[in-house]
Amino acid sequence: MPGPPARIEVDLGYFLTEQGRAKPEDQDVKCQTDVFLPRPETPQYVPKKTGIDKITQIEDYDLFDYDREVQPILNVLLTKTVEQSLLEVEEETELEEIRKYKQEYKKRQVDLRDSWEEEVKREIQRIKHKNRDLKNARARREQQIKTMHKLQSLNMSKQFLSGCFKGTLTHLSQSNYWRDSFQDQLNIAYKHFMTDKAQADSQQAVIAEGFINQALNNELQKLSDTKSSIKKAAVKKAELQKATRVIESTDKRIVHFVFDPKQKVQQTPFAKKFNQWLAGTMKEDEETEHAAFDEYIEKWVEDTLAEGEHNPIVFEENQNEELVLNGIDHISWAVANNPFFKLEIEKYYPTAVIVNKEGKVLGQYGACYPQSEKQAAEFPNCRDRHNFRDDKIRINDDRKVEFKMQDFKDSSIQVFLMVRTFDLRKEKDMPENLHDDAWFRLQNEQTSQTLDYTKIKNIDVPEDYAEGSPEDESPDLDEEERKSRNELVYLAGRIYCETSKSGQHKWIYEKWNQLVETQKYPNLDQSLADLYKHSCDESAGYDEQINQAQMRMSEAAEEKRAAQIAAASKKQAKGSKKKGKDEDNATPAPEEPRQGRSS
């Protein structure tokens, strides 16, 4: 075993002498002393003998066995050596694997770039071929138009010249190229009479024409205003269709960059309550959280929190996907029973429910909801649409709910997006896979571009689900025996507003893709609104408890500070009184001489 470390000599002279003072004046004095006799050596101390003497014999290896004691040390040394060797071998192997992976990755990137360049070249050739064909077609069309114009001109000339001779004679006769005696007499005898009469008739005609022109102008102005509004609506509709069909264009694209930042965000209070509500554990979880939170508040006020103890109300990472709707104002929630062609039998249709934090349902849109004037006045740009398929677009929807974000002036509004099903139990000979391609999607309504979509068949239906029979809803049955249809409702997600600390708002789409049954959740819209109100009230209650606890702590600190100030004042007053008595009893000290300054 190694010995103790070497001793470091420390100079303690600095601490054994007084520092910071000038050396006093000293003086040498001599004196003579007598010679001292040497002091005899002190004998070694021998303690007084007590007890009884005993003898024992210790054999070899009784107290220490080297071979046995060295085993743990050798085990540690050998184990550490082998472990370090294995670690170095594993690191070398890992570095080799990383090097191989980098080489393969570079090779894949080169292959991808080459394939991309080839695809770009093919696309360029295809566009050039298309432009060449288009140019040839336009040239042929222009030639056809020119030929048609020439034929039309030839026909018009033939028709005009056919009556030219007769028209010429008529024109000469009307222009008085041949003298007419009767006409000459009229011009001479009745010239003045006819002039006056014509002038009077002309004035009356001018007055009548003024009234007619004014009436016509008024009617034309009204017609122009009507046509202007119709023209503006037609232009707006054409621009909207043009923007909508950009997705099918071959030379223009509008791209939405949707990316995953790989950074989870915290659950919102509603998202936490929604998960508990679906799991059926909301009541038990709330009782546990409330008890733990009350205990935490009491400990916090009494300043008895243990080290590491924190607020029991925790919001974990949100496992649902979220999409920030930046720069998108006009969106729609759409459903297609088949995106590529229209089916005769529709099964799915979209619904949207708008609620606020007071638990009030502000708007309901979908095939199963009637539209009210109040709802249309509050959200003028929200509407339910169907029968709008555009044949010029390759992918279409059957039904959709449109809304603009500018209608949602209250930032506490939430929009629940759901997909419901029509009752097809009476349909016969319907193929089972008829609606396998059905989907629902959130899209940018201005460009018909998909922001998020889900195929309905990818959402698993519960194994014990039963829709029920139409005979169970017969009015002839008793109320206890009568059963309503058990409908499947797809809870696709919600759109809500998040407010930052600086006061800026951003709308977020949170994706759920959950499936519920109407027998378990009969009044689903109001249940979601009540759940939203409950989560808001609970968060406000937690904040109120924290504020009250802070007020209690502030009041306790003020009382403690006031008590300390009173105690300090009392102590200071007592010390001042004692000091005054000591000064009265003390004798005055002599004054020290003042030192003057030399000029």
Q: What is the pLDDT of residue 593?
A: 34
Q: What is the pLDDT of residue 479?
A: 67
Q: Which amino acid is at 261?
A: P
Q: Is residue 186 part of a domain?
A: yes
Q: What is the pLDDT of residue 49?
A: 83
Which of 197, 214, 248 terminates a domain? The answer is 248
Q: Which two tokens stand for residue 448?
A: 């018909």
Cβ atoms of residues 299 and 305 within 8 Å: yes
Are 408 and 525 within one domain?
Answer: yes
As a whole number of angstroms, the distance between CA 355 and CA 415 comes to 7
3-state secondary structure 30-81: CCCCCCCCCCCCCCCCCCCCCCCCCCCCCCCCCCCCHHHHHHHHHHHHHHHH
Q: Is residue 42 part of a domain?
A: no
Q: Which two tokens stand for residue 374?
A: 């109040």
Q: What is the pLDDT of residue 80?
A: 94
Supply the range of the domain harboring residue 553: 267-423+435-461+485-560
Are 149 and 218 within one domain?
Answer: no
- Rg (C-alpha) for the chain, rounded Å, is 51
Q: Is residue 28 part of a domain?
A: no
Are 200 and 168 within one domain?
Answer: no
Are 99 and 70 within one domain?
Answer: yes
Are 340 and 451 within one domain?
Answer: yes
3-state secondary structure 335-380: EECCCCCCCCCCCEEEEEEEECCCCCEEEEEECCCCCCHHHHHHCC
Task: From first to last of the 599 residues of the chain, give the pLDDT tens digit.
Answer: 556 677 778 888 777 777 777 777 888 888 877 777 788 888 888 888 888 888 888 777 777 788 888 999 999 999 999 999 999 999 999 999 999 999 999 999 999 999 999 999 999 999 999 999 999 999 999 999 999 999 988 888 888 777 777 777 777 777 766 666 666 666 666 666 777 788 888 888 888 888 888 888 888 888 888 888 888 888 777 776 666 655 556 566 565 555 566 777 888 999 999 998 988 898 898 888 888 888 888 888 887 878 778 888 888 888 888 888 878 888 999 999 988 888 888 999 999 999 999 999 999 999 888 888 888 888 988 989 888 887 777 778 899 999 888 888 888 899 999 999 988 888 888 888 888 889 999 988 877 788 888 999 999 888 888 888 777 777 666 666 677 888 889 999 999 998 887 878 889 999 999 999 988 888 899 999 999 999 999 989 988 888 888 888 888 888 888 888 888 888 777 766 555 555 455 444 333 333 333 32
Are 141 and 220 within one domain?
Answer: no
Q: What stretch of H or E contains 124?
A: helix 66-162
Cα dihedral 396, 400, 406, 411 sign: negative
Are 215 and 288 within one domain?
Answer: no
Are 199 and 282 within one domain?
Answer: no
Q: Is residue 50 part of a domain?
A: no
Q: Is residue 174 part of a domain?
A: yes
Are 103 and 158 within one domain?
Answer: yes
**DSSP β-bridge partners for residue 366:** 351
Q: Is residue 511 part of a domain?
A: yes
Q: Is residue 86 part of a domain?
A: yes
Q: In what order do the strands lie in the sheet with 414-421?
A: 322-324, 505-517, 488-499, 414-421, 348-355, 361-366
Are 241 and 279 within one domain?
Answer: no
Are 543 and 491 within one domain?
Answer: yes
Are 236 and 279 within one domain?
Answer: no
As a whole number of angstroms, the distance between CA 380 and CA 360 comes to 19
Which of 178, 205, 237 terminates a domain? The answer is 178
As a whole number of angstroms, the distance between CA 299 and CA 305 comes to 5
SS3 (DSSP) at 462: coil
Which of 132, 147, 178 terminates a domain? The answer is 178
3-state secondary structure 377-400: HHCCCCEEEECCCCCCCCCCCCEE
Q: Which two tokens stand for residue 30?
A: 């001599």
CATH number at residue 515: 2.60.60.30
Q: What is the pLDDT of residue 247?
A: 57
Q: Is residue 504 part of a domain?
A: yes
Cβ atoms of residues 422 and 488 within 8 Å: no
Q: How many domains does the chain have?
A: 3
Sequence-distant (6+) residues with CB within 8 A of 533 are 357, 358, 359
